[in-house]
Amino acid sequence: MSEALFCIENLQVAYPQRSGEESSWAVDDVSFTLQPGERMGLVGESGCGKSTIGRAVMSLLPASSRVEGRVTFQGQSVFNLTPNQLRKFRGEAIALIFQDPMTRLDPLMTIGKHCIETLQAHSPELSTRSAKEKALATLEKVNIPVSRWNQYPHEFSGGMRQRVAIALALLLNPKLIIADEPTTSLDVTVSAQILQELTRLCGQENMGLLLISHDLAMVGEYCDRIGVMYNGKMVEMGSTETVFKQPQHEYTRSLLKAALHIQALDEIGSGEEKQLPIINEQSPILRVTELKQYYTIEPNFIERLFNRQAQTIKAVDGINLNLYPGEILGLVGESGCGKSTLSRTILQLIRPTSGKVEFLGQDLTSLSRQEIRSSRRQIQMIFQDPHACLNPAMTVGQSIADPLFIHNLADPIKAKEQVLWMLEKVGLTPPLVYYERYPSDLSGGQQQRVAIARALITHPKLLICDEPVSMLDASVQSQVLELMLQLKEEFELTYLFITHDLWLARFLCDRIAVMNSGKIVELGLTKTIFANPQHPYTKTLIAAAPLLARA
């Protein structure tokens, strides 16, 4: 057999601890080998040590972390590299794609500058023109058009930023890519295109791929081998087919069961009989009429010399949508299609270019800033990344109580009572313990429960959920979704559920609106959309969604 591309032997990692805290292994005696051209998936719940392995390999752990064991790349010890060798090693030998693209992108640099700088740092002899040609070709592979070259990261959607981060990883033709949840914020079509491109490179360039993910169906489709991690240890390893058909470890069985539960056809949350009365007998809780949100990209100095005109991006382009009390309406579509922009425009976080948003019969677009703030007590939002919307300096109790004080709904004593009651409702027990904790002390799933509690504390009528479980592994995802369904009944909620995961939309939603290039191209009952999609784009989305085969 040829020399292994990448080898981890008895790897142990412990993060620096606060004084008085007992040290524990985040990665505990993990070993595996990757051959050239091989694709391996690494799965497990958040906090199990998957990402720590990727960071340890690249020497990106915090200073004074304890690292034991051996990591070799093409026979050479990675931990013995000098700082200069390490700089060359990162990117040329192994490239790491992070889950959050903003950890890789500088907000003060254009996308083009990122690409040129990356190429010239590793190949100083490369001219700017040659570097730009190579960069544009790579960006094209991940569906970033030439017209976005001079834009900054904040002008891109989350999914488009992730595509840029993937392009930056591919620029230097590495021998191994460690992809840490690389498609979490991407829709199924772009996700499929990127993974097919990575798969092609693995075969063509003999490149290795270590795919860290909580998406079992995706790992099953694109990886030859799978490793399952639990509590820092590798509890199961084998060919993907064997692990999926004959899982040996109890934890692997629970992961597969949770993923199949969300996918199961017979477990769709609601059927045709339930929805038709809602639509026919009630007035909409939310009515969106001809809503438009346009952005203008002004030409830079050079472009103005050549009489280049300003470009208009139609993020939301004439949306008409009704949402009825008690229903769950799913909004699906590719990253950059305008889903999140639509949700922020509904909330009036950004004012629309034109059109109307009526909530409980009141036109939100005509309200003053103070009136809009007051209306938000009735419309709350759950974001994709709970960590980003929770203040790290505030305890869980303070974060959840904050909206009560903003809207003058309770004094400190009443607020604490309501927060403890809400913590109990979202399954964070004992509530007094969680009340005093900080977000950094919680897992991803627990943070999302705090975000849900914060959204519900003002007793809203409508919840806008923007990819609320996309960052969670299958078992935690399943728990949070069951919690959301339970709370919906108890609090008589209406959900606008934004997701790029079609199986999730099918499991949860009464109706589905399919969005593409700022427009809704198809709208109908969930069963109808899946059984008989009408629009070519809807058919493409459904065909591209990876499905986990039953054993």
**What is the DSSP annotation of 225-254?**
EEEEEETTEEEEEEEHHHHHHS--SHHHHH
Report how far residue 128's alpha carbon sits from residue 139's, in angstroms, rounded to the nearest whole number. Answer: 16
Over residues 166-201, the pLDDT tens digits come to 889 989 889 999 998 887 767 677 777 778 878 887
Roughly how many angstroms between the first and final C-alpha of the chain, as a whole number? Answer: 32
Q: Residue 21: which pLDDT band, with cuts at 50, 70 and 90?
A: low
Q: Residue 28: which pLDDT band, with cuts at 50, 70 and 90?
A: very high
Domain coordinates of the chain in residue numbers? 6-265, 267-544
Rounded to an integer, the average pLDDT of 335-342 is 82
Over residues 513-529, the pLDDT tens digits come to 999 888 999 999 999 99
Q: Share the mean pLDDT of the chain.
A: 85
Place of tokens 């995706």: 218
Higher pLDDT, 304 or 408: 408
Residue 474, C-beta contacts closer than 8 angstroms, at least 6 positions apart: 214, 215, 216, 255, 258, 259, 262
152: Cα separation from own chain's centroid: 20
Rounded to an integer, the average pLDDT of 422-427 is 89
What percentage of the chain carries pLDDT values higher than 70? Answer: 90
Does position 304 have pLDDT exceeding 70, yes or no? no
Does position 101 have pLDDT exceeding 80, yes or no? no
Question: What secondary structure does DSSP assign to 413-441, as a single string?
Answer: HHHHHHHHHHHHHTT--SHHHHHT--GGG
Report how far residue 548's alpha carbon sits from residue 502's, in angstroms, rounded to the nearest whole number. Answer: 13
Does position 325 have pLDDT exceeding 90, yes or no? yes
Whether 267-544 and 6-265 are alike in CATH topology: the answer is yes
Rounded to an integer, the average pLDDT of 322-331 is 94
Classify strands 208-212 and 39-43 as parallel, antiparallel or unpaired: parallel
Does position 81 have pLDDT exceeding 50, yes or no? yes
Question: pLDDT at position 548, please?
Answer: 60
H helices present in 74-150, as ranges: 83-92, 111-122, 128-141
Q: Residue 204: which pLDDT band, with cuts at 50, 70 and 90?
A: confident
Question: pLDDT at position 551, please?
Answer: 44
> What is the homologous superfamily of the domain 6-265 according to CATH?
P-loop containing nucleotide triphosphate hydrolases (3.40.50.300)
Beta bridge partners of 363: 358
> What is the homologous superfamily of the domain 267-544 according to CATH?
P-loop containing nucleotide triphosphate hydrolases (3.40.50.300)
Question: pLDDT at position 322, please?
Answer: 94
The residue among 288, 462, 458 whose CA lies nearest residue 363 is 288
Q: Residue 281: which pLDDT band, with cuts at 50, 70 and 90?
A: low
Q: Range with the lowest mean pLDDT among 50-64, 116-130, 308-322? A: 308-322
Rounded to an integer, the average pLDDT of 41-63 is 86
Question: pLDDT at position 315, please?
Answer: 83
Question: pLDDT at position 385, please?
Answer: 75
Q: How many CB atoms lie within 10 A of CB 503?
A: 21
Q: Residue 541: which pLDDT band, with cuts at 50, 70 and 90?
A: confident
Q: Residue 13: which pLDDT band, with cuts at 50, 70 and 90?
A: very high
Does position 381 have pLDDT exceeding 60, yes or no? yes
Rounded to an integer, the average pLDDT of 342-353 is 88
Q: Residue 457: which pLDDT band, with cuts at 50, 70 and 90?
A: very high
Over residues 230-273, the pLDDT tens digits come to 989 999 999 999 999 899 999 998 888 877 766 664 444 444 44
Question: pLDDT at position 19, please?
Answer: 61
Question: pLDDT at position 9, please?
Answer: 94
Rounded to an integer, the average pLDDT of 69-87 is 90
Place of tokens 């045709």: 272
Over residues 217-241, the pLDDT tens digits come to 888 889 999 999 998 999 999 999 9
Question: pLDDT at position 294, please?
Answer: 87
Peptide bond into 430 cis (omega under 30): yes
- pTM for this structure? 0.69
Higher pLDDT, 500 or 13: 13
CA max distance for the chain: 71
Question: pLDDT at position 39, please?
Answer: 94
For 134, the token pair is 């190579």
Q: Residue 369: what residue type?
A: R
